[in-house]
Structure 1
């Protein structure tokens, strides 16, 4: 049965996600920047109150995915701190100046995170050669790639998502995300045959996950 991850930008959304059947929470801050590392206090509160899996975004700022040495050191430190808290996984992604996978840095972050699994986030949608990047991320040790199919959203990237799932061939999980809602989930699931899906389930300006939307998403995946 396919599973559902909800991107949560506050503790309230994380609790709503759990209460309405989500399989996993991706906890972030600053939605307007596409997600950054949440505060340590929020992560601790989420860990205390959530029984479902809790993955945490490790991203020092918005903007591109090419980081300075100081920013990378922040990422290393945050992963070490959060391993002690007992989160279930990490979400991050580092590119080179040419928008290629920074294999050395990503591999070192994945190694540092062990035994916790890592998701490469939508930095993947910036790469120039997605199929090459797919193989490199498998080599780095990532377990999941969050992607809209190298497009603005999953609707536009649906053919690429289908191809990525085929090429991944169960060696890594391709998780469609990016404007994924109950209105298009069935189409995306049928076309791509993906087994894990990502949505914020936000349907208004509140920045809070909508419980009914989460229920609808789960109902589609459970059908």
Structure 2
């Protein structure tokens, strides 16, 4: 199972055409680590019909995963809007000042996703994003997420990237014992796919992006790179997973 992080409709089409199983949709990936995409972008990418659909990142700003009440409320509304726009899943998370899971917020996010899914008539995947990697007790956080009905966890094993977190990923897979999906993501390359797969994770996640220079204008900051999905990298990643 391989998921490609994309930021536009062209990226969604590329992922589908090259055989990716699903996509995670976000905005400002390189600059911020990913933010919530617009309603229109979600709807357009859902219409591409990637086999397992569009997982939408819900994150209102860059920086820490400790959110104010206003930020929590925005994200809860964004979960509902993403499902209404056609998302098959949402990618969410939040922590306390002490580096623990923000359990009331995590539960509210899951409930908002389930309620929105009921309104549109299908179940919604709920993924806890890489806030998981900066928690102090990942096993305890995993157990709590299982109790809340989360579908999967996106993680590098707490390391800077998947290649450095292989041992931790194995431990997480063992602890999960099939109760929740473990998806390896963060710093994953085509070359590191075999080692990541050998940990026993349920899925792999990578951005497969390249930079294309675009001319700016007044107010646009001049020439600036645009992040695009690299077709060749997606093709190679899918081939590596299918071996």
Common fold, TM-score beyond 0.5?
A: yes
RMSD after superposition: 1.2
Partner of 2:190: 182
1:110 to 2:118 alignment? no
What is the aligned partner in structure 2 of residue 119 from structure 1? 127
User: TM-score under structure 2 normalisation?
Assistant: 0.87
Higher relative contact order (CA 8 A, sep 6+): 1
1:164 alignment partner in structure 2: 172
For residues 111 and 149 of structure 2, what CA distance do their matches in structure 1 show? 8
Secondary structure of 2:55 counterpart: strand
Deviates more, 1:45-54 or 1:22-31: 45-54
Matching of residue 136 in structure 1 with residue 176 in structure 2: no
Structure 2 portions without partners, runs of 5+: 115-122, 213-226
Structure 1 residue 166, shift from structure 2 partner: 0.8
Task: For 1:9 and 1:164, locate their aligned partners in 2 and report how far apart those are by CA, in whole Å.
Answer: 29
Residues in 2 aligned to 1:39 and 1:85: alpha-carbon distance in whole angstroms: 9
Q: Aligned ranges for residues 26-175 of structure 1 at < 5 Å?
A: 26-31=24-29, 32-52=31-51, 53-114=53-114, 115-175=123-183
Using the alignment, how far apart are the partners of 2:140 and 2:36 within structure 1? 28
SS across alignment from 1:95: coil
Query: Which of these residues, 195, 199, 207, is aligned with residue 206 of structure 2?
Result: 199
**Matched residue pairs, number?**
219
Please tell me whether the aligned partners of residues 12 and 48 of structure 2 are also in contact (alpha carbons under 8 angstroms). Answer: no
Consecutive unaligned residues of structure 1, counting only runs of 5 or more, are none
Distance 1:42 1:140 in 2: 29
8 Å CA contact retained: 1:149, 1:157 = yes
Cα drift, residue 48 of structure 1: 2.0
- Structure 1 runs (4+) greater than 6 angstroms displaced: none
Aligned residue number for residue 239 of structure 2: 219
Is contact 1:103–1:140 with CA below 8 Å preserved after alignment? no
SS at match of 1:12: helix
Structure 1 contact 148–154 (Cα < 8 Å) conserved: yes
Quick one: which of 13, 16, 32 aligns to 1:15?
A: 13
**CA displacement at 1:11 relative to structure 2:** 2.2
Output the CA distance in 1 between the equivalents of 2:147 and 2:239: 35
Q: Name 2:216's counterpart in structure 1.
A: none
Distance in 1 (alpha carbons) for counterparts of 2:232 and 2:211: 16
Q: 2-side partners of 1:132 and 1:81: how far apart?
A: 30
TM-score under structure 1 length normalisation: 0.94
**Alpha-carbon distance in structure 1 between the residues aligned to 2:235 and 2:47:** 23
Instruction: Name the CA distance, whole Å, in 2 between partners of 1:60 and 1:29.
Output: 11
